[in-house]
Amino acid sequence: MSAPKSITVFTRHAPGGEPGRGLRRLAELAREAGITLRVPPAEVEKHRLEPLPGVELGADPEGPTDLAVALGGDGTILATLRRYAGRRVPVFAINFGEIGFLSTVERDGLDGAIGPALRGEFEVLPLPALEVGTSSGPWLGVNDISFHRRPDMRVAELSYGVRGEQVGRVRCDGLVISTPAGSTGYNLANGGPVMAWGVEGYVVSFIAPHTLSARALVVAPDDVLQVTNRSADEPVDVTTDGRTVCTLAPREQVEVRFRHDMALLAQVAGASFYHRLRDKFGRLTR
């Protein structure tokens, strides 16, 4: 990659603290490299930033940029990846959260990683996403799209089909559809398979299924998945990457599609999925 001329930064939701210090250090390093650091209004307010040389305060987060830097956990990283999905802007993520599976380096490695990144010395991994078409419009998930029963309502009854043919119908607390990148999240907690990055396809798994026969299913990337709320009178919530976006009404059906190479994840040279897996979750066997 060529060296970026501008960078836009996003941090975790909590103001100040380590992400705030990380942002200020990023501003110093960018200024030394002659690169404009763009800071959106929400970040300026969150960290109470004063004018700094080489920093564009109040920058439009949707404006053009060569690189996005996320200082936070997976929620911040996913929000940044969604923002730039389809725009060919790499997202360089530094973990200021808990697990930070999508991050390329931990917070104490910021100085060592940002220098090469500012010179364009990073690798880019294209990531797929999932798109669900609903009555309120299409919604994108980089990790997963899930359907949940509401806490004050009965167990959900969900069915799913592929190519118009019903594959399963399950009473459960919910259903999760995950990309390979998201397979180590909600899907893993459901007992679904871990899918290495680069695998073509997506996985369907269940949250607390009320049957012994429910099994996760890996779906081919070009197959469209239909999900139907079989309840006669109770809606279920639809979430993308952990944020509730809409509801699935009783008897309503939606379609979920696999979208190739929607987001770009920037990585330090030599980073790998398998190293992340072992580092974040431990060895698969002892």
Task: Tell whether 235 is covered by a domain.
Answer: yes
User: Same domain for 147 and 96?
Assistant: no
Q: What digits encode the pLDDT tens for the residues 235-245?
A: 999 999 999 99
Is 74 part of the annotated catalytic residue set?
A: yes
Residues whose CB falls within 8 Å of the CB of residue 36, separated by 6 or more in sequence, listed in order? 5, 6, 7, 30, 54, 55, 56
Q: Is the pLDDT of residue 62 over 70?
A: yes
Q: What is the pLDDT of residue 138?
A: 92
Q: What is the pLDDT of residue 136?
A: 83
Q: What is the pLDDT of residue 211?
A: 85
d(CA 143, CA 146): 10
148-155's contacts with Cβ under 8 Å and 24+ in sequence apart are 148/173, 148/174, 148/207, 148/236, 148/237, 148/239, 149/173, 149/174, 149/234, 149/236, 149/237, 150/234, 150/235, 150/236, 150/237, 153/234, 154/231, 154/234, 155/210
Q: What digits encode the pLDDT tens for the residues 88-134?
A: 999 999 998 888 889 988 888 888 889 999 999 999 999 999 999 98
Q: Is 78 helix (H, G, I), strand (E, B) or coil?
A: helix
Q: What is the pLDDT of residue 177?
A: 97
Token pair, residue 241, equals 């990457």
Q: Which sign, positive or negative, has the C-alpha torsion 3, 56, 65, 182?
A: positive
User: Same domain for 174 and 109?
Assistant: no
User: Same domain for 92 and 138?
Assistant: no
**Phi, psi for residue 233 in degrees, rounded to 5:** -145, 0
Task: Tell whether 1 is covered by a domain.
Answer: no
User: Same domain for 15 and 94?
Assistant: yes
Q: What digits encode the pLDDT tens for the residues 147-197?
A: 999 988 889 999 999 988 888 889 999 999 999 999 999 999 999 999 998
Q: What is the pLDDT of residue 216?
A: 92
DSSP letter for 144, please.
E
Residue 12, amino acid: R
Q: Is the pLDDT of residue 285 over 60?
A: no
Q: Which CATH number goes with the domain that contains 191?
A: 2.60.200.30
Q: What is the pLDDT of residue 54?
A: 87
Residues whose CB falls within 8 Å of the CB of residue 23, separated by 6 or more in sequence, listed in order? 9, 11, 39, 43, 47, 49, 71
User: Same domain for 20 and 81?
Assistant: yes
Task: Tell whether 286 is covered by a domain.
Answer: no
Beta-sheet pairing, 165-172 with 253-267: unpaired
How many other CB atoms sit within 10 Å of the CB of residue 200?
13
Q: What is the pLDDT of residue 280?
A: 76
- Domain that residue 67 falls in: 6-122+268-281
Q: What is the pLDDT of residue 271?
A: 77
Q: What is the pLDDT of residue 171?
A: 93
Residues whose CB falls within 8 Å of the CB of residue 44, separated by 6 or more in sequence, listed in order? 57, 58
Q: Which CATH number goes with the domain that contains 41?
A: 3.40.50.10330
User: Same domain for 162 and 190?
Assistant: yes
d(CA 183, CA 177): 9
16 pLDDT tier (thresholds 50, 70, 90): low
Q: Is the pLDDT of residue 55 over 80?
A: yes
Q: Is the pLDDT of residue 222 over 90?
A: yes
Q: Is the pLDDT of residue 283 over 60?
A: no
Query: In 3D, which of 185, 190, 199 has the Cα closest to residue 142?
Result: 185
User: Same domain for 134 and 253?
Assistant: yes
29 pLDDT tier (thresholds 50, 70, 90): very high
User: Same domain for 163 and 78?
Assistant: no
Query: In 3D, which of 143, 78, 101 has the Cα closest to residue 276?
Result: 101
Number of domains in the chain: 2
Residue 100 Ramachandran class (φ > 0 left, ψ -120 to 50 alpha, else beta): left
Query: In 3D, which of 273, 220, 261, 222 has the Cα closest to residue 128?
Result: 261
212 pLDDT tier (thresholds 50, 70, 90): confident
Q: Which of 74, 173, 237, 241 is catalytic?
A: 74
User: Same domain for 253 and 275?
Assistant: no
Cα radius of gyration rounded to whole Å, the chain: 20
276 pLDDT tier (thresholds 50, 70, 90): confident
For residues 286 and 154, the model is more confident at 154
